[in-house]
Amino acid sequence: MTAWNVTMSDEHEGDDDASVVVETRSKTKRPPLYKVLLLNDDYTPMEFVVHVLERFFGMNHAQAFEVMLTVHKKGVAVVGVFSHEIAETKVAQVMDFARRHQHPLQCTMEKE
Ligand code: TYC
């Protein structure tokens, strides 16, 4: 993406009437995105995982069930893509919720 910084040219920085507005192209980097991954295990109940996906990732029941089954069969699935701060929050929420219910469910994040 191209962005333009609007600045005053060096020779015309004063507050005289000769001020000129100069547009310089600058590289604006979009912030990196992070995948949030849910990992399979042998003990967490399927219904608990479905509930986690509904509660923290805004999925409806059918979507949540499908994603849960993907994790169950493949071992891992991406359950969302977020900014670093939101991804960290989601991981912390899931890990805390699982811990409080004494399930070994694991949730991690990685740079996309
Ligand atoms: N494998 C679990 C079971 O058979 C279900 C499960 C699915 C656990 C997804 C974790 O992220 C997970 N009860």
Is residue 81 within 8 A of residue 36, CB to CB? The reply is yes
What residue owns the CA closest to ligand 1's atom 11?
Answer: 40
Count structural domains, the chain: 1
Q: Is the CB of 75 under 6 A from ligand 1?
A: no
What residue owns the CA closest to ligand 1's atom 7?
Answer: 72
User: How far from chain centre, in Å, is Cα 88?
Assistant: 8
- Tens-digit pLDDT profile for residues 67-98: 999 999 999 999 999 999 999 999 999 999 99
Q: Is the CB of 94 under 6 A from ligand 1?
A: no
Report residue 14's pLDDT band, with 50, 70 and 90 as the boundaries.
Answer: very low
- Count Cβ atoms below 10 Å from residue 20 Cβ, excluding itself: 11
Residue 32, C-beta contacts closer than 8 angstroms, at least 6 positions apart: 84, 111, 112
Which pLDDT belongs to residue 21? Answer: 61
Determine the distance separating the centroid of ligand 1 and the alpha carbon of 34, expressed in angstroms: 23
Residue 26 lies in a domain: no
The whole domain housing 104 covers 42-111
Residue 28 lies in a domain: no
Residue 77 lies in a domain: yes
**How far apart are the C-alpha atoms of 28 and 83, rounded to whole Å?**
16
Which pLDDT belongs to residue 39? Answer: 99
The CATH number given to whatever domain includes residue 87 is 3.30.1390.10
